[in-house]
């Protein structure tokens, strides 16, 4: 049981699995959106890609909510003492922003579908729409969703660079805490 939860020195199995799942979701979602662009608009293939994107995104919404709750109720491994305070602050800020993105990105996509009047199905199962159609708001959500995706890419790149800095510059075990099973 102790291996499931985080400790002051290491991440637990649940956090590590969530990390891997979100990496796979990140790659899959971007692949589906950008691969869709190779098909004619509104073609059967294009629609299949976007429906799968929406289903995975709707799943990610609830998985993101679980991840946030898990992060709140768990300890977080401490950064080594020799890390400057400003880097610790930025690490905390980027972690907070990453948790925000894993919830806000699928939420904005789901709401965009609902307010756009397109509805949403979760792997073929219709999801009840509680909202009335509002194309203007749906359009705003679309732009938020698109531009927010660029923000997420930048945040993930910064996260990866920081992890590699711990490995190769600071030569500490911060990276291994997440990847050692």
Phi, psi (deg, nearest 5) at residue 104 = -70, -35
Which ranges of the chain have pLDDT less than 50? none
Tell me if 12 sits within 8 A of 6, measured CB to CB: yes
Residue 69: per-residue pLDDT? 97
pLDDT tens, 98-139?
A: 999 999 999 999 999 999 998 899 999 999 999 999 999 999
Burial class (CB in 10 A: 0-12, 13-18, 19+), 9: exposed
Q: Kindly list the domain boundaries of the chain, sorted by start residue.
A: 13-179
> Is the overall model pTM greater than 0.85, yes or no?
yes
Residue 181: per-residue pLDDT? 77
What tokens appear for 93 in the block? 């800020």
Distance separating alpha carbons of residues 42 and 151, to the nearest angstrom:
27
Summary count for the chain: helices (H), strands (E): 5, 2
């Amino acid at each position: 049981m102790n291996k499931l939860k985080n400790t002051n020195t290491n991440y637990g199995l649940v956090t590590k699995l969530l990390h891997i799942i979100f990496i796979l979701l990140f790659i899959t979602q971007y692949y589906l959106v950008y691969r869709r662009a190779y098909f004619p608009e509104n073609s059967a293939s294009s629609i299949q890609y976007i429906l799968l994107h929406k289903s995975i995104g709707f799943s990610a919404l609830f998985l993101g909510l679980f991840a946030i709750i898990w992060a709140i109720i768990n300890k977080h491994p401490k950064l080594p003492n020799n890390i400057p305070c400003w880097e610790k602050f930025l690490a905390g800020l980027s972690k907070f922003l990453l948790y925000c993105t894993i919830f806000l990105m699928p939420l904005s996509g789901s709401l965009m579908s609902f307010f756009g009047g397109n509805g949403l199905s979760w792997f073929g199962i219709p999801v009840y729409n509680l909202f009335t159609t509002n194309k203007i708001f749906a359009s705003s959500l679309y732009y938020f969703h698109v531009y927010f995706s660029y923000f997420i890419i930048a945040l993930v790149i910064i996260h990866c660079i920081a992890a590699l800095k711990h490995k190769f510059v600071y030569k500490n075990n911060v990276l291994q805490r997440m990847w050692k099973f």
